[in-house]
Structure 1
Amino acid sequence: MRRIAIIGAGQAGLQLALGLQGAHYDVTLRAERTAQQVREGRVTSTQLMFGPALALERAAGLNLWDERAPVMGGLEMCHGDPAEAGRPVRFTATYDAEVRSVDQRLKLSAWLELFASRGGRVEYGSVAAEDAPAVVDRHDLTIVAAGRGALASLFGRDAARSVYDRPQRTLAAFYADGVMARGDEADGYLRVSGATRAGDAIALQALTVQGPCAILLLEAKPGGPYDCWADRPGSREGLRRAVELLREYAPWEYERFARAEPTDGGAALYGAITPVVRHAVGSLGGGRYVLGMADAVAVNDPLTGQGANNAARAADAYLGAILKHGERPFGERWMRATFEDYWEQARHVHAFTDLMVRQPLPDHVSRVVEAAYRHPEVAHRFANGYADPASCRDWLMDPERADAYVARFAGSR
């Protein structure tokens, strides 16, 4: 029986561990926290997942929340700033497949318990760089699926594939109860409200430990009004501050969040993420290698909601590669080929996110968004591009093709 170690018990690590366990591999999972500690801890993500990634969970039998997690039926985009002239512009578009968010405190704790209940071996605690060679020596393959911590230093930055060398936004996210409906179709949609000077306020439906809730994510332009979280306030004070910002920069969302309260004491998250692609194979010396996966080697800004989707795709791709490899050694060449096969799809996700987080937006993307405000067909295509960014490579990612597409709607309403 092949022995595989997975360091990191997030979306990617747990999904892969459960898949390998189901295929009768001997899997050791290294987790920093117990299931109870995860469940009772602070929020870690907005974990938005689109239809293709949810389908991977369902195919693996890991869709444990289908009866409880809200389904977001579409996207609403608004842009307006009280300091600017004119009325806010808005479009809505339906999604072709389900979109959900399940609090990772709920999801990961349940998956961790599921892995253990099926006889999986879990070792708790962090793994230092000096501990890694001993882990590799005990296993046929060691995969690092932890995007933070000492082992991240094993994977150097891939300058050819990394566009940015610093965070492009600062982030603040809050899980909230008591969000009021306005009575239109967008109440159950993912909603993005843009303000030129401030950034984007993103509201979504989610399932948390206590039940359904709303999430408010502020993607702040550095130095702008939304960039005000250096003091890392508690969840109640942080949400209050965020709602006051909505009053000024997205008053249509303020109406919904005016009476909101945090779901729990751990319902606030702050940070800034540098989008980066790292080399996927880390050398420990002496012919020992580890393979990085998901956030350990490829990190996106959360603006386009791709993080959990990337993790699910990576776990599925690595699982297929391992099963296909059979009893042959998992050498450095195989590791590099496995990542490159995954990257062939993932590169479109990173290119899409790197494009959308650019400040200001490229002219051709701005023209597409402006057309979406006027033409439902453009809005629908743009909204569903988030579910599969690879579908954008032949139009949105190419300035000439994007302009040619928009030109089809010139003169029509």
Structure 2
Amino acid sequence: MRKVLVVGAGQSGLQLAVGLRAKGYDVTLMSNRTADEIRTGRVMSTQVMFDTALRHERDLGLDFWTRHAPRIQGLGVSVAGPGGARAVDWLGRLKAYAQSVDQRVKMAGWLDAFVQQGGQLVVHSASVADLDYLSRTYDLVLVAAGKGELVSMFGRDEARSPYAGPQRALAVSYVHGLAPRPEHPGTEAVRCNLVPGVGELFVMPTLTTSGRADILFWEGVPGGPLDVFRGVNDPAEHLTLTLDLMKAFTPWEHARAAKAELTDAGATLAGRYAPAVRNPVGRLPGGGAVLGVADVVVTNDPITGQGANSAAKCAASYLSSILMHGDKPFDEAWMKATFDKFWFTTGKPVTQWTNAMLAPPPAHVLELIGAGGRYQEVADRFANGFDNPADFDAFFYDPQDAADYLAEVRAAEAAGSGSGSVGASGAAAVPGSRSVPGSGAASAPAGGPAAE
């Protein structure tokens, strides 16, 4: 029986550990906290999982909360205009439902399941020295979590990492008490509110320790009016700041929040981190090699909501590569090939899209966002791109591709075969400057202190 050590009990680490254990591998999982400590701790992310990632969980029998979590059926975008109005407002329909489960609930439940499955759990904060010693007794060591020392084993890939510092200041609140959304009261949806030149507010339905809730997630341009959460440690003060900013910049969302209250004492989170791609193979002092997993080696800003989704896809890809490798040694060449398989199918499209959304959008992207308010086809395609970011390559990055796509949509509508407008407001292009920030839900990388 092959022995595998998985370091980190997050989305990718636990998913891999459970998957390997189910296939008969001798799996040891290192976590820095027990299940109870996770369950009663502070929120860790703002995860919204789309269909592909959820299917990976279902394949392993890890979909414990399907009947309890809100079924997210749409993804909407609003753009703030002058005087507190919305210049653009639309809702894209997802082909299959998405779901958000507080990772305190999810990871604690999965950790219990792993132990019940016969996996060995070691509660310990791993160091490089620990891994150097332990690697000699395992066929493969997978690093799926870490800060500081562990992450330092994986050198930064400068060619794939254009940003040297954080691009957003992040602030999260889990709340009860939001009033129903008047635009679509019967439809659970992620809402992305874009405030040009300032940042983004995401509102996401979720399941938390106390039942259904909503996540309020600000992403602020560093140094701007949203960058005010540093040093705020009191949860009540954190929520007050969140609501005050909503009143100032997204009054249509603030109107729903008159009765908003935090779900629990650990329901807030703030921080920032720099997006980065790192080399996938870490070299230990004794000469051994370890393989980095998910956010450890591909850390994206949560603006496109891909952290937990990418982690699930990475775990599924790595699991497949491990099983196909059989009894052959897990050498450095195999590690690089395993990462490359994930990178080219998932990591690269996600990183390209996320980095593009962090930058000031070019004119053709503004036109695409505005077109979502007039053509349901465009809104739906944007929404489903969160499940399949590779689709953006066909119409999003190149001005000519965007123009050709919108021409096809207009022609289809003119011919009577288009799906029509959303019924919400939307201009042909977002008014104002070329400084509309991007949109997305959120997820916390293992190497960063803030939200996903």
Summarize the alignment of residues 10-409 of structure 1 with structure 2, pairs less than 5 Å apart. Answer: 10-82=10-82, 88-185=87-184, 188-345=188-345, 346-358=347-359, 360-409=360-409
The CA distance in 1 between the partners of 2:399 and 2:331, in whole Å, is 41
Between 1:379-388 and 1:202-211, the stretch displaced more is 379-388
- Does the 8 Å contact 1:364/1:403 carry over to 2? yes
The secondary structure found in structure 2 opposite 1:68 is coil
- Does the 8 Å contact 1:169/1:220 carry over to 2? yes
Report the residue type matching 1:350 in the other structure: T
The CA distance in 2 between the partners of 1:272 and 1:266, in whole Å, is 18
- Does the 8 Å contact 2:176/2:214 carry over to 1? yes
Deviation for aligned residue 1:363: 2.6
- Does the 8 Å contact 1:355/1:362 carry over to 2? no
Q: 1:2 to 1:181 in 2, by over 3 A?
A: same
The secondary structure found in structure 1 opposite 2:97 is coil
The secondary structure found in structure 2 opposite 1:237 is helix
The CA distance in 2 between the partners of 1:323 and 1:181, in whole Å, is 46
Report the residue type matching 2:135 in the other structure: V
The CA distance in 2 between the partners of 1:249 and 1:373, in whole Å, is 20
Deviation for aligned residue 1:75: 1.4
Report the residue type matching 1:18 in the other structure: V
Between 1:182-191 and 1:270-279, the stretch displaced more is 182-191
**TM-score normalised over the length of structure 2:** 0.88
C-alpha offsets along residues 195-247 of structure 1, whole Å, 9 cap, x if unaligned? 11321110010000111100000011122221111122322221121111111
The CA distance in 2 between the partners of 1:275 and 1:59, in whole Å, is 30
- Does the 8 Å contact 2:9/2:107 carry over to 1? yes
Report the residue type matching 1:139 in the other structure: Y
The secondary structure found in structure 2 opposite 1:73 is strand
Gaps of at least 5 residues in structure 1 are none
The secondary structure found in structure 2 opposite 1:116 is helix
The CA distance in 2 between the partners of 1:382 and 1:374, in whole Å, is 13
C-alpha offsets along residues 370-402 of structure 1, whole Å, 9 cap, x if unaligned? 221222211111111111101111221333212
Deviation for aligned residue 1:410: 5.8
Report the residue type matching 2:348 in the other structure: R
- Does the 8 Å contact 1:147/1:295 carry over to 2? no
Indicate whether 1:2 and 2:41 are aligned.
Answer: no
C-alpha offsets along residues 150-173 of structure 1, whole Å, 9 cap, x if unaligned? 210000100111121111111001
Deviation for aligned residue 1:128: 1.2
The CA distance in 2 between the partners of 1:20 and 1:124, in whole Å, is 19
The CA distance in 2 between the partners of 1:70 and 1:289, in whole Å, is 41
The secondary structure found in structure 2 opposite 1:282 is strand
C-alpha offsets along residues 133-190 of structure 1, whole Å, 9 cap, x if unaligned? 1111110000100042421000010011112111111100100001111443166211
Q: Quick one: higher RCO (CA 8 Å, sep 6+), 1 or 2?
A: 2
Report the residue type matching 1:351 in the other structure: Q
- Does the 8 Å contact 1:81/1:249 carry over to 2? no
- Does the 8 Å contact 1:155/1:281 carry over to 2? yes
Q: 1:361 to 1:326 in 2, by over 3 A?
A: same
The secondary structure found in structure 1 opposite 2:68 is coil
C-alpha offsets along residues 262-294 of structure 1, whole Å, 9 cap, x if unaligned? 000000010112111000001114431000001
C-alpha offsets along residues 310-356 of structure 1, whole Å, 9 cap, x if unaligned? 10001101100111000111001100110011111121111111111
- Does the 8 Å contact 1:367/1:403 carry over to 2? no
The CA distance in 1 between the partners of 2:410 and 2:224, in whole Å, is 35
- What is the percentage of aligned positions where both structures have the same residue? 43
Gaps of at least 5 residues in structure 2 are 415-420, 422-452
The CA distance in 2 between the partners of 1:181 and 1:114, in whole Å, is 35
Deviation for aligned residue 1:409: 4.8
Q: 1:82 to 1:258 in 2, by over 3 A?
A: farther
The CA distance in 1 between the partners of 2:285 and 2:227, in whole Å, is 43
